[in-house]
């Protein structure tokens, strides 16, 4: 069964609801987490504070915001909520505004939700399934789409990566403010590209936060992140590539080709 579907209850799905602004949209998603017993109001406030502190980096794809905060005692169990807005709401993102879908994550620990995030990244990045989700009329229809299977796509392998002075296995960091939300989305999308290239045995992708990224940069080839987080990181001694759509395999493909001159 889909891991994603197991973390999202029907009662945590709200379709075509009104929100006057981005904060209200996040609070609606947080309220669903509260009502389903996943988290307490303090976690909803933490999601709001996260955006106030770090900017709209949670808008990781056109029209899609992934609200989250760090694991805390305010989280009772790992779960998701799903809010489709009746009218698009601007979050302040330079390329991905306005937002029509807000998915909120409350994670009990750093690893409990990894497979669900991989599935969600694939769903949001699939135009056919995303269109079906946009048109779904009921919560059960949303869950049915999320439980659907995808046909694998075979692609030719690329040549083995070669970076001057590099080691046998290269490290790429995906970075966000908390190291467990949007950075995981980016990690999962990049790993899809690596799988298609047959490079998974050559490149390790690690999702991390801004503080840890500065310390790990010396061992990495590249950092992938949002514009807001890139400005926070500053100069870390390796290339920092800003990604606009965290679910776009084509954008991540282009970033890899630029790094490795493929």
**Tens-place pLDDT, residues 82-120:** 999 999 999 999 999 999 999 999 988 766 567 777 788
User: Would you call 170 a catalytic residue per the annotation?
Assistant: no
Under 8 Å between Cβ of 122 and 184: no
230-239 contacts: CB < 8 A, separation 24 or more? Answer: 232/54, 232/177, 233/175
Q: What is the pLDDT of residues 15-57, one digit of tens each?
A: 999 999 999 999 999 999 999 999 999 999 999 999 999 999 9
Does this model's pTM top 0.75? My answer is yes
User: What integer pLDDT is reported at residue 118 of this predicted model?
Assistant: 76
Pairing of strands 64-68, 222-225: unpaired
User: What integer pLDDT is reported at residue 154 of this predicted model?
Assistant: 41
From the candidates 68, 93, 113, 170, give the one annotated as an active-site residue.
Answer: 68
From-to residues of CATH 3.40.930.10 in the chain: 3-146
Answer whether CATH 3.40.50.2300 is correct for domain 170-260: yes
Q: In the chain, what percentage of residues exceed pLDDT 70?
A: 89
- Which of 85-89, 141-145, 146-150, 166-170 shows the highest mean pLDDT? 85-89
Residue 215 has pLDDT above 50, yes or no: yes
What CATH number does domain 3-146 carry, 3.40.930.10, 3.10.20.30, 1.10.10.10, 3.50.30.50?
3.40.930.10
d(CA 219, CA 110): 22
Q: Quick check: bond before 98 cis, omega within 30?
A: yes
């Amino acid at each position: 069964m889909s891991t994603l579907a197991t973390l999202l209850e029907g009662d945590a799905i709200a379709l075509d609801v009104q929100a006057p602004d981005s904060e209200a949209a996040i609070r609606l998603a947080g309220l669903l987490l509260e009502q389903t017993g996943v988290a307490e109001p303090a976690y909803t406030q933490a999601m709001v504070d996260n955006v106030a502190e770090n900017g709209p980096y949670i808008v990781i794809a056109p029209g899609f915001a992934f609200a989250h905060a760090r694991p805390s005692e305010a989280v009772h169990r790992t779960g998701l909520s799903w809010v489709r807005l009746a009218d698009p709401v601007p979050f302040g993102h330079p390329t991905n505004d306005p937002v029509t879908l807000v998915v909120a994550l409350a994670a009990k620990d750093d690893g409990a939700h990894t497979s669900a995030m991989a599935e969600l990244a694939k769903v949001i990045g699939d135009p056919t399934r995303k269109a079906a989700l946009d048109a779904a009329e009921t919560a059960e229809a949303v869950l049915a789409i999320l439980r659907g299977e995808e046909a694998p796509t075979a692609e030719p392998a690329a040549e083995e990566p070669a970076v001057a002075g590099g080691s046998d296995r290269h490290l790429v960091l995906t970075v966000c403010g908390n190291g467990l939300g949007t950075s995981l989305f980016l990690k999962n999308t990049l790993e899809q590209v690596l799988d298609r290239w047959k490079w998974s045995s050559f490149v390790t992708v690690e999702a991390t936060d801004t503080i840890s990224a500065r310390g790990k940069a010396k061992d990495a080839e590249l950092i992938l992140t949002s514009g807001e987080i890139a400005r926070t990181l500053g100069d870390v001694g390796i290339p920092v590539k800003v990604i606009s759509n965290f679910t776009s395999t084509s954008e991540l493909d282009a970033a890899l080709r630029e790094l490795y001159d493929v």
